[in-house]
A and B are shown apart, each in its own frame.
Chain A
Amino acid sequence: MFYDQCSDTSKPPLDREALRDVIDLALWAGQLLLQYGAESERIEQTIHRLGTGLGCDWMDILVSPNVIAVTTISGAEFRTKIRRVIGLNVNLTIISAINRLSRRVEDGELDRFGVRKELDRISKIKSHYNRWLVVAMVGLACASFSRLFGGDAAVFVVTFIASAVAMVVRQELSRRYFNQFLVVIVTAFAAGVLASAADLLNLSGQPETALAASVLLLVPGVPLINAAEDLITGHMVTAVVRGIVGGIISLSIALGLLLAISLMGVRGL
């Protein structure tokens, strides 16, 4: 299969007002994609599909780590605008919804006004999962990792409790807009202190497994995978920045964990 998104010169030219509207919608969609964890290639293609679907001949898109710039072109007319974007948590429902929206525009199902309504709805999507359900499942996920690392039943229980409590700490700190790296350090510290119980109370023969598994909820999996994907697809600037962010988050986990280990006086990793 080979998709050709070539410009279609038979389109009727759009006026300046229409171009302004398209650029606004394209940037809105792009902002949602970038801030909720899409990789750069997807952002470019989705914005391009959306803009050309709304009648532009061509879109030029620059995806930077925290800025998106778009130029819309129709006939001899063009307009350019940039938008500042800040990274938030990962939200795959929003990414999925924007992708579907761009397909519908491409198929001619939606016009500019329909797209605006849809984007408004998508940007208000809240989490499907109850906060406490997420806490329990994240705890279970980290406890499952402890089994994959070869931990026993006691390690499983300790990891579950430590990472579930750490998840609550993370949610509470994030809600109060603390610096993201500070949130990671404090959360890793909390997880480490609780996971030290495996060693201090002599619950298990492999207490270091509980320490390693209980902080896994903080692992920057999406930034690191996206960094490698951007590298492969040739988006070097975003790749480097995402990689460094992933590295600093890993460093923050290490700091929090080391602090907990030395404070509790337990056997390290």
Chain B
Amino acid sequence: MNTALLLTVLEDGLWSALAAAGFAMLFNVPVRTLPGCAILGAVGHAARTLLMQMGMSVEAGTLAGATLVGFLGLVFARRWRTPATVYTLSGAIPMVPGSLAFRTMIGLLRLAEAAPEAAAPMLADVSVSAIKTGLILGAIAVGITAPSLLIVRQRPLAR
């Protein structure tokens, strides 16, 4: 593997770890789980960046990264006897398309005062960011619930 790519991914992991740790503290995670949350944030986002550098789309990369977070979260949960949500929710935060979500809304608001001929391309932009936001969120959710969809299944609570 070339060193430039490795450095990019490592730097990405460092910033993602800080982002995940900050949000984990905002979510008041138990103190002993904080390192695990930061590690998952780094691993998930860095994996996504690596895959995207190798030519994968952001949606597919997110699915792969979030699945990694989901399974590692299960391992951490077993190891430190904490529900996996603590790890997976904090670990998924760096991948959440937050900026895309409010860019969609800004686009919608600007559409209201756009000239008729400018409105069509703006509408296309808004639609693309809305669809991307939805797909990335879906990928995160499928990824972090993958363990409970595939391995730790439960009988439905109805009789």
Say whether A associates with B: yes
**Chain A residues engaging chain B, CB cutoff 8 angstroms:** 1-7, 37-39, 41-42, 44-45, 48, 58-59, 61, 90-96, 99-100, 127-129, 133-134, 137-142, 144-145, 147-149, 212-213, 215-217, 219-222, 224-225, 227-229, 231-233, 246-247, 250-251, 253-255, 257-258, 268-269
| Interface contact B155-A221, CB-CB below 8 Å | no
Name, among B22, B103, B105, B141, the residue most crowded by chain A CB atoms within 10 Å (CB to CB): B22
Minimum CB distance partner of A5 in chain B? B155
| Interface contact B27-A91, CB-CB below 8 Å | yes
Contact among B11, B12, B98 for A221, CB-based, below 8 A: B98
Contact among B15, B21, B99, B137 for A228, CB-based, below 8 A: B137
| Interface contact B83-A221, CB-CB below 8 Å | no
Give 11 CB contacts A-B under 8 Å: A1-B151, A3-B152, A6-B159, A92-B85, A92-B90, A95-B86, A137-B25, A144-B19, A148-B15, A213-B99, A247-B105
Q: Provide the B119-153 mask, 1 if CB < 8 A to any CB of A, else 0.
A: 00000000000000000011011101100110111
Contacts of A48 in B (CB 8 A): 157
| Interface contact A149-B99, CB-CB below 8 Å | yes
Q: Chain B: interface secondary structure?
A: helix
In the bound assembly, the distance between CA atoms of A90 and B22 in angstroms comes to 13
Q: Which of B84-135 contact A (CB under 8 A)?
A: 85-86, 89-90, 92-94, 96, 98-99, 101-106, 108-110
**Is residue B67 within 8 Å, beta carbon to beta carbon, of the partner chain?**
no
Minimum Cβ distance to chain B for residue A235 (Å): 11
In the bound assembly, the distance between CA atoms of A254 and B10 in angstroms comes to 32
Minimum Cβ distance to chain B for residue A68 (Å): 14
| Interface contact B93-A221, CB-CB below 8 Å | yes
Minimum Cβ distance to chain B for residue A171 (Å): 11
| Interface contact B16-A148, CB-CB below 8 Å | yes
Q: Chain A: interface secondary structure?
A: helix
| Interface contact A224-B155, CB-CB below 8 Å | no
Interface residue total, chain B, C-beta cutoff 8 A:
58
In the bound assembly, the distance between CA atoms of A212 and B31 in angstroms comes to 29
Contacts of A219 in B (CB 8 A): 96, 98-99, 101-102
**Is residue B154 within 8 Å, beta carbon to beta carbon, of the partner chain?**
yes
| Interface contact B22-A140, CB-CB below 8 Å | yes
| Interface contact B83-A99, CB-CB below 8 Å | yes
Contacts of B85 in A (CB 8 A): 38-39, 42, 92, 95-96
Minimum CB distance partner of A212 in chain B? B99
- With known contacts A141-B19, A148-B16, A232–B145 Cβ distance under 8 A: yes
| Interface contact A92-B29, CB-CB below 8 Å | yes
Minimum Cβ distance to chain B for residue A17 (Å): 25
**Chain B residues engaging chain A, CB cutoff 8 angstroms:** 11-12, 15-16, 18-31, 33, 45, 81-83, 85-86, 89-90, 92-94, 96, 98-99, 101-106, 108-110, 137-138, 140-142, 144-145, 148-149, 151-155, 157, 159
In the bound assembly, the distance between CA atoms of A133 and B21 in angstroms comes to 12
Contacts of A141 in B (CB 8 A): 18-23, 26
Contact among B81, B92, B153 for A2, CB-based, below 8 A: B153
| Interface contact A90-B155, CB-CB below 8 Å | no
Contacts of A253 in B (CB 8 A): 102, 105
| Interface contact B25-A45, CB-CB below 8 Å | no
Contact among A37, A142, A221 for B96, CB-based, below 8 A: A221
Since A148-B16, A232-B141 are in contact, a sample of 8 more A-B pairs with Cβ atoms closer than 8 Å, ordered by chain A residue number, is A37-B27, A93-B28, A128-B28, A134-B25, A225-B137, A225-B140, A225-B144, A257-B106
Minimum Cβ distance to chain A for residue B155 (Å): 5
| Interface contact A148-B106, CB-CB below 8 Å | no
Contact among A41, A128, A215, A250 for B30, CB-based, below 8 A: A128
Contacts of A212 in B (CB 8 A): 99, 103
| Interface contact B23-A221, CB-CB below 8 Å | yes
Contact among B25, B33, B81 for A100, CB-based, below 8 A: B81
Name, among B11, B82, B102, B141, the residue most crowded by chain A CB atoms within 10 Å (CB to CB): B102
Contacts of A37 in B (CB 8 A): 27
